[in-house]
Amino acid sequence: MKTLPFTKMHGLGNDYVYVDCFQPKVAALIAQTDLYQLARRISDRHRGVGSDGLVLIMPSEVADLRMRMFNADGSEAQMCGNAARCVGRYAFERGMCGSLMTLETLAGIRQIAIHTDIRNRVEQVIVDMGVPVVESHRSFWQRSDRDYVAVDIGNPHAVLFVRTSVDEVPVQTLGPHWEHHPDFPQGTNVEFVQLYNHNELYMRVWERGTGETQACGTGACAAAVAAMLTRHAANELTVHLPGGDLRVRRDEQSGKLYLIGPAEEVFKGEYRIVD
């Protein structure tokens, strides 16, 4: 029987199963495993561990760490801000890296900074999310109270602003509609955003390959930069999500986005891999 050690972590309820591939036996097992099937099975909330996906923490030739991230449907994603924060905390607390580290992802290399309290306990994790690419504003809605902004944070996002409360948005219907819209051949993440004031917004998110989640780090960045550039919001915003609050800061000179929020470890275990 093959067993895979794992750690369950989450960023504001956006939970993943993390596997430490720095361990030679674990890396060898992962190399022999169908990762598509593993991600689907381990993410199953009834027959598996239960999560929004699977994250592999791996050695890198160009950074301190490498992250591979799989959605709950088995598809591989380019980047995840909440997962990056969790990887940062995992590596810091196990002495794999110091409070500053670099992380290789399919979206490029990201810098991570760990902020601790006086007892050296992790309080916040900051991820340099890079410079977003914001496409020209496009409206796909007949109703004037909603519009759409396409943003690339290393992965694709469609940001939809709403005037009503995000609690009233039929995310389970509109989410899959926009995820598979013809304008996004590879699919997209979808953010439903209410700009509350100059410094705050409320958001619900439909993640590509997973569905509605409690939080999404890249989605928070996409929503924030869309608000900053099209709604004249402040260059630092608090993003209120069902799972809690994230902060997004934009450096005016470089255009880089910084994602700030918590990362929590839930439990450790071993998962039995069925051939």
pLDDT of res. 142? 39
pLDDT on residue 141: 42
- How high is the pLDDT of residue 1? 73
Which of 21, 80, 86, 221 is the catalytic position?
80
pLDDT of residue 261: 97
**Domains defined for the chain, CATH in brackets:** 2-129+262-273 (3.10.310.10), 133-255 (3.10.310.10)
270 exposed, middle or buried (CB, 10 Å; 0-12, 13-18, 19+)?
exposed
In one letter, which amino acid is 266?
V
**Quick check: is 80 catalytic?**
yes
Task: Determine whether 221 is an active site residue.
Answer: no
Identify the active-site residue in 21, 86, 97, 216: 216
- Confidence at residue 183, expressed as pLDDT on a 0 to 100 scale: 83
Profile the chain (275 residues) by mean pLDDT over runs of 10 residues. 94 97 97 96 97 98 98 96 98 97 97 95 96 70 57 94 92 95 91 95 97 97 93 94 98 96 97 85
